[in-house]
């Protein structure tokens, strides 16, 4: 009764409002601190020479979503051998990370005026976008360049078919499955002209040093997504499946667990956060009891060996499904427990190997089946080709470069046609922004 009374007298909503206000103040303070660090480090990272950059990657998010741009590092480094590339960062925490790790120059453009200055002084022909951040719209105002959505993965999430695709001049997608998804969702959209298939170029760089010594154990990757911020996107399985399946794997002398949760896991849901922490603690306890088990809690920035090395992978509905699919190796997908979670079973999810919450404790037998069952392997091969085309190493990188070359050729054609047009500043004098007013900025 006291809990019910608290809801009706407004106490609980008030507590949530107070927590939201605290979080906002904390983010503002972190942002100001990070801006001070950026100011001190900026002389170590001079801006590219005027007219030297032809391709920009626009990244308006904070450090928490760096995984979206990190996966493009290797393809961008390869692209930069032909066309100079830079990353535009709008958040201080993100640019600090980019300065430390990105293989191409990173430019900090905190304000619209900073952005305007960079655009004006460079020879930008293509701007890539890895997400649908609302601040992408501030970059869209600039003409004389192609705005191209490259996303941060391939999946059947509703995110992959939003009408926001129409905001871009072009979109680079993985394969036939993406084309079909978009054709059912986007009305009056010129798919043949504005969408280009490139496969998954990141898969050409799925390498890295293993944090364990390979042996006879079956290696199982569990890579769940976060809890989501709305019912339709509640795909996270840590609380529903994760504790049970990881307990079974950790108790087995024949298996090794690689646990790689989404970096935002538990940011909104306390139960989800507690389940994540329980799994991490269980991994540490299992390794202490048997150091030869070499279970791994993985938080590394790089994503490569985690996809290619494990014998079996378990993922929620997320881009991780399709990153793993690109390797052609066995895969299980957790079925969301919420009836409100949107699941499009018209494509791969209609033929995949599902893992329900009540089956999670039986993961050892299920993992063994998907690893060796011939019918399961045949289905996997079909869907790998449908989503990514030719996955022979190097082919996706060739298609990515060919797509960029095509866009550069189109840019040149239009540049000649508009050679007589006066170039004008395209800034918005009323569009100035200050991230102190933006929740989540850091």
In contact, 256 and 264? CB cutoff 8 Å: no
Distance of CA 62 to the CA centre of its chain: 13
Predicted confidence band at 116 (pLDDT cuts at 50, 70, 90)? very high
Q: What is residue 441's predicted lDDT score, i.e. its pLDDT?
A: 53
146-168: pLDDT as tens digits: 999 999 987 666 667 788 999 99
Q: What is residue 56's predicted lDDT score, i.e. its pLDDT?
A: 98
Phi, psi of 315 (to 5 degrees): -140, 155
Q: Encoding tokens for residue 421?
A: 């047009």
What's the DSSP call for residue 241?
I
Q: What is residue 158's predicted lDDT score, i.e. its pLDDT?
A: 62
How far is the C-alpha of 204 from the C-alpha of 127, rounded, in Å? 22
7-32: pLDDT as tens digits: 445 555 666 677 777 777 777 787 88
Q: Is the pLDDT of residue 346 over 50?
A: yes
How far is the C-alpha of 328 from the C-alpha of 380, rounded, in Å? 7
- The least confident of 24-33, 136-145, 180-189, 286-295 is 24-33
Q: What is the strand order of the sheet 126-129 is part of?
A: 106-108, 85-89, 55-59, 126-129, 146-149, 170-173, 195-197
Could you tell me which of 307, 315, 155 has the C-alpha nearest to residue 245?
A: 315
Q: What is residue 313's predicted lDDT score, i.e. its pLDDT?
A: 98
Could you tell me which of 181, 273, 179 has the C-alpha nearest to residue 224?
A: 273
How far is the C-alpha of 442 from the C-alpha of 416, rounded, in Å? 42
In contact, 243 and 222? CB cutoff 8 Å: no
Q: Encoding tokens for residue 83?
A: 């066309």
Q: What is residue 142's predicted lDDT score, i.e. its pLDDT?
A: 96
* Of 34 and 265, the one with more pLDDT: 265
Element (H, E) at 249: helix 243-251
Predicted confidence band at 251 (pLDDT cuts at 50, 70, 90)? very high
Q: Is the pLDDT of residue 358 over 90?
A: yes
How far is the C-alpha of 161 from the C-alpha of 380, rounded, in Å? 23
Beta-bridge partner residues of 127: 56, 147
Could you give the residue ranges of the DSSP H alpha helices within 80-175? Answer: 92-101, 112-121, 136-140
124-147: pLDDT as tens digits: 999 999 999 999 999 999 999 999
pLDDT (average), residues 252-277: 96
Distances (CA, A) of 428 to 108, 164, 432: 19, 22, 7
pLDDT (average), residues 300-317: 93
On the CB side of 442, how many CA atoms lie within 13 Å of its CA? 13
Q: Domains, the chain, ranges and CATH?
A: 41-204+394-437 (3.40.50.11720), 218-388 (3.40.50.2000)
- The least confident of 12-16, 83-87, 239-243 is 12-16
* Of 351 and 155, the one with more pLDDT: 351
Predicted confidence band at 440 (pLDDT cuts at 50, 70, 90)? very low
């Amino acid at each position: 009764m006291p809990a019910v009374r608290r809801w009706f007298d407004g106490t609980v909503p008030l507590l949530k409002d107070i927590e939201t206000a605290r979080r906002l103040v904390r983010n503002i303070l972190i942002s100001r601190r990070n801006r001070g660090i950026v100011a001190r480090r900026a002389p170590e990272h001079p801006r590219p020479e005027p007219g030297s950059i032809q391709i920009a990657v626009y990244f308006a998010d904070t450090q928490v979503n760096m995984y979206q741009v990190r996966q493009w590092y290797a393809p961008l480094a390869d692209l930069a051998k032909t066309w100079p590339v830079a990353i535009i960062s709008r958040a201080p925490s993100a640019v600090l990370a980019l300065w430390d790790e990105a293989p191409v120059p990173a430019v900090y453009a905190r304000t619209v005026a900073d952005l305007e200055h960079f655009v004006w002084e460079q020879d930008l022909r293509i701007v890539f976008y890895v997400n649908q951040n609302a601040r992408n719209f501030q970059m869209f105002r600039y003409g004389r360049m192609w705005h191209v959505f490259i996303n941060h993965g391939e999946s059947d999430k509703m995110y992959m078919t939003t009408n926001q695709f129409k905001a871009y001049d072009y979109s680079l997608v993985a394969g036939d499955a993406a084309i079909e998804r978009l054709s059912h969702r986007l009305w009056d959209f010129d798919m043949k002209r504005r969408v280009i298939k490139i496969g998954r170029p990141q898969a050409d760089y799925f390498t890295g040093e293993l944090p364990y010594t390979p042996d006879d154990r079956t290696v199982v990757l569990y890579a769940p997504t976060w809890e989501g911020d709305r019912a339709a996107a509640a795909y996270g399985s840590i609380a529903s499946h994760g504790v049970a399946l990881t307990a079974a794997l950790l108790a087995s002398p024949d298996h090794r667990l690689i646990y790689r949760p989404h970096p935002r896991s538990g940011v909104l849901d306390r139960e989800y956060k507690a389940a994540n922490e329980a799994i991490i603690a269980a991994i540490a306890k299992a390794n202490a009891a048997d150091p030869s088990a070499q279970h791994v809690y993985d938080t590394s920035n790089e994503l490569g060996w985690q996809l290619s090395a494990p014998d079996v992978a378990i993922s929620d509905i997320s881009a991780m499904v399709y990153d793993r699919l690109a390797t052609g190796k066995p895969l299980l997908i957790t079925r969301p427990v919420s009836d409100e979670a949107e699941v499009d079973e018209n494509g791969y999810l209609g033929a995949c190997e599902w893992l329900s919450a009540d089956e999670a404790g039986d993961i050892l037998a299920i993992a063994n089946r998907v690893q060796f069952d011939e019918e399961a392997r045949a289905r996997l091969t079909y869907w790998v080709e449908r989503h990514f085309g030719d996955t022979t190493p190097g082919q996706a990188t060739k298609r990515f470069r060919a797509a960029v070359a095509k866009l550069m050729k189109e840019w040149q054609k239009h540049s000649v046609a508009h050679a007589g047009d006066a170039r004008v500043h395209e800034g918005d004098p009323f569009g100035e922004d200050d991230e102190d007013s933006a929740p989540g900025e850091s």
